[in-house]
């Protein structure tokens, strides 16, 4: 039995796996997980989130920056950010604390 995943909130800190190679392809990102040898694609917004994880993995900080950069409802940005973070963690591309 595996331990339940940590809850993901704006107080969560994200660390990108060192086992992931990233290649920019026309504003989008292709991620290669060296551990699983699987490819993942991120659209332009997801690519920006990934880049911001490298600057500050604190989701509250990432959320604030995304709200500055994108013309969207902050609640929607938050929801999408949390879903993306959960998906990346589930795939083993990031760890969350």
Q: Which domain holds residue 82?
A: 14-96
65 domain-assigned: yes
Cα distances (Å, whole numbers) of residue 37 to 16, 21, 34, 40: 16, 10, 5, 10
pLDDT band at 1 (very low <50, low <70, confident <90, very high): very low
What average pLDDT does range 7-25 have in this prediction?
Answer: 95
6 domain-assigned: no
- Can you give the CATH number for the domain in which 65 is found? 1.10.10
pTM > 0.85: yes or no? yes
* pLDDT(2) > 70: no
Give the side-chain half-sphere CA count within 13 A for 15.
6
33 domain-assigned: yes
pLDDT in tens, 18-75: 999 999 998 899 999 999 999 999 999 999 999 999 999 999 999 999 999 999 999 9
Q: Provide the domain count of the chain.
A: 1
* Dihedral Cα 96, 60, 83, 35, nearest 10 deg: -30
62 domain-assigned: yes
The residues pairing with 31 across neighbouring beta strands, listed in sequence order, are: 22, 40
64 domain-assigned: yes
């Amino acid at each position: 039995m595996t331990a339940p995943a940590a809850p993901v909130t704006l107080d969560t800190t994200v660390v990108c796996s060192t086992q992931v190679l990233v290649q920019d392809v026309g504003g989008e990102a292709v991620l290669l997980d060296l551990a699983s040898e699987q490819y993942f694609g991120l659209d332009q917004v997801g690519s920006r989130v990934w880049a911001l994880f490298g600057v500050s993995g604190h989701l509250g900080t990432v959320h604030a920056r995304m709200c500055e950069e994108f013309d969207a409802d902050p609640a929607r940005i938050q929801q999408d950010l949390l879903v993306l973070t959960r998906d990346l963690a589930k795939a083993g591309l990031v760890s969350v604390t």
